Structures are given as structure tokens and as C-alpha cells.
Structure 1
Amino acid sequence: MTWKVLLPVGEATEVMDTLYPIFRLPEDGFEVVVAGPEPRLYHGVMHEIPPNENIPWDITREQPAYHVRATEAFRDIRPEEYAGLFLSGGRAPEYLRYDQDLLDITRHFFEAGKPVASVCHGVEIAAAAGCIQGRTMTTVAKCALDVTQFGGIYVDQPVVTDGNLVSARTWHDNTPFLKEFVRLLKASVAPK
């Protein structure tokens, strides 16, 4: 049986946050279903602090990157058919967090205790859904307020697991982050 993992995207989804799980999770038998506000192609972005600039950057610079195709609309998703949820970053979560269908989907995963992965700005979706109160997690430092303002506990470390929630700061933490998410996914779908 192939288990499905839902990965929401929108305009300005961060491609390193998004493409890595799209290619990594099938290696362990999980089908990644990419969903968006509408089923269509979305513009991805690359976020990085540029090296060797004459004037140093304090925050990330955004540049166009690869495109990502959503094959499903949030309104058509039946979350009970999915084993896990992967919330990637970029600027997409800034407006996706207002999508009521996505918020309902997100609540389902937390309420059912299914594995949820959140990296970088992905926390904005989980926070808006009211799912992080009392949870310890990490995110990119500039989103720490998104954790604490919604009752979560922010820590600055590469990967944090709190129950069914695994979080990472940025795509730089992808390897340990995805190893932990895959561990949670496998444990959740293993025969009892």
C-alpha cells in the first residue's frame, strides 16, 4: 500500500523546502500529493543570505526559482486519506494561512495525531490553525514570534520533535529533518 503525504503550496513557495520532500519521501514509499488554492503551476522562490556582498544582508533575499505544480485544490482534499502533512516555507504561508479549507485540513492532522512536518514559514499555517499552543518547536529565527504569539515554545535548534510534530529551521536542516519525519510516518502507518 502506498501512503500519501499532503504538501500545500502557493505562490512563492520556497523550492528547497518543497522539492526535497517531493523527491525524498517516495524513496520510503510515501506518495507526495501537492495541493494549492487551485490545481495549477505555482512560482517557486529561492531564499538565501547572499555570500560575499559589498553590503551584507541581515535577512534572506528572494529570487525566482523552479515552479511547482499542485494537482489538487485544498477544497477537494479528504485529509483522512493521508498519513501526514508537510508544511513548507517561503512566503506562500503568509497568505495560505487565511485559506479556511487548508486550516481545517491542518487541524485534522493535529487532532488525529498524524505526523506533521513544519519548516521555516510553514509554522504560520499551523499557528493560524490554532495547533501549536503548548508545543515546543523550531523555525527560522525571524518566525519565532509566530510560535510564541500563538502559545508555542520556540527553541533554536536544527530539528525538534514534539509528539506528532517535527519542525526544522530552514532547508539547511533538511537531512535530519526528513529522517525524523520519515521515522514518524513509518511508525504511524506500521501495523499495530
Structure 2
Amino acid sequence: MNKILLPIGDAAEAMDTLYPYYRVREAGYHCVVAGPDARIYPLVMHEIPPGWDITRESPSYHLAAEKAFAEIDPSEYVGLFLTGGRAPEYIRYDEHLLRTVKHFFAEQKPVCSVCHGAEIVAAARVIEGRRMATVAKCRLDIELCGGIYVDNGCVLSGNLVSGRTWHDQHLYMPEFIRLIGEYTAARNGQSTPALGVRD
């Protein structure tokens, strides 16, 4: 079964994480959750309450990572989903995760990023010249690393599809699933359009 990689860490956002986790499985892929270590991670819920200007963080579900980043062989995966929450703030410094992210871009494999997931691709220095969506507070991360911030629910730029927050899941997840399908078809020798043709 084709595998999709889902990196997480402490305080990954629950909605950002759990919907894609189940959606790619529904589409017939094996979703492998990975973290700095192979252990159980607490997810959090992020929302901006009425009258607030910033995000409030609350405890949520837990999710087990079956692999540590150091154990990942990126050649085994056909897709990468970068979730949001506060986890990207610290897992973006993990050399093994960055090596994996760079592999996906070098090989033009499908990557999806939502919300603070932008901090990971920015740290990997793989978004120069690319259009990309993220939550507004991460705009600076994209622009300082040469990317082009777009305030849209789904932005496709080559092998990268991105969204602002989990509120956009109905927009970016179908595109991510489409890219994975095109990539796996091409890998199996079937005729298919080039990735990113809708950009």
C-alpha cells in the first residue's frame, strides 16, 4: 500500500492533523505518523474566541507516532502532509525531518501544508519563488524564505498544495489527493498530466 507521511510533535493542531490522517486512509493510502521520537503526542485545539485577536490553545486528543524522524526513509513515501499547531515551531529544527522534506521537493512528490506547516518548508528552504497559503501570522516565514504569500484557501504551486487553516480542508485536501493519484499513476507508467497543471 502506498504510504503518506504525517510528521507531528507536541501541540500539533487536532483538526489540522486528524482530518488528513483519516482522509488519506479513506482514499486507500497508509498514513504513517512520525515524530521526533516514536511515542504518543498530545494534540491541541486552536481557535480565536469572539473578541480575541490571538489564538487560544486548549488540550485535545492524543496521537501515536509509529516512527521517529531519524527512522524515515523518504523514498518509501508518495506524499507528505505538514500539519499546523505549535509543533512546527520546534520540529522544523530537526535535521532528519528537513532532509525528508527536501527529498520530497527534489523528487517532485506531492506535499500538502496547512497553517504553521509553512514554518517547516520555510526552514527547509524549498519555497523560493513558490506561491503558498498559510495562516496570516506565518506570512513572514514564507516571504523571508523567498516564497509568495497568497491569502487563499487552496494554493497549488507545482508539487505543493497549501491552505490557511483547517477551515480550508474541503479545498486543499481534494487537490492533495489528486496530486498523489497523479504521482502514483505516473510512477506506475500510466499516462497522466504533469503535477501542478491547475496552478
TM-score, normalising length: structure 1: 0.96
After TM superposition, the runs of 4+ consecutive aligned structure 1 residues lying more than 6 A away are none
Secondary structure at 2:127's aligned position in 1? coil
Gaps of 5+ in 1: none
Aligned equivalent of 2:16: 17
Deviation for aligned residue 1:50: 1.3
Q: 2:151 aligns with which of 156, 166, 169?
A: 156
Q: Is residue 2:60 matched to residue 1:65?
A: yes
CA distance in 1, matches of 2:131, 2:167: 20
Aligned equivalent of 1:87: 82
Deviation for aligned residue 1:113: 0.2
Q: Is residue 2:182 matched to residue 1:167?
A: no
Measured against aligned partners, the alpha-carbon deviations of 1:161-188 in whole angstroms (never above 9, x if no partner) come to 0000000000000111110000000000
Q: 1:177 aligns with which of 157, 163, 172?
A: 172
Query: Equivalent pairs: percent with the same residue?
Result: 59
Deviation for aligned residue 1:120: 0.1
Aligned equivalent of 1:39: 38
CA distance in 2, matches of 1:97, 1:74: 11
CA distance in 2, matches of 1:156, 1:21: 21
CA distance in 1, matches of 2:44, 2:25: 23
CA-based RMSD of the aligned residues comes to: 0.6
Measured against aligned partners, the alpha-carbon deviations of 1:102-150 in whole angstroms (never above 9, x if no partner) come to 0000000000000000000001111101111111010001100010000
CA distance in 2, matches of 1:89, 1:139: 9
Gaps of 5+ in 2: 190-199
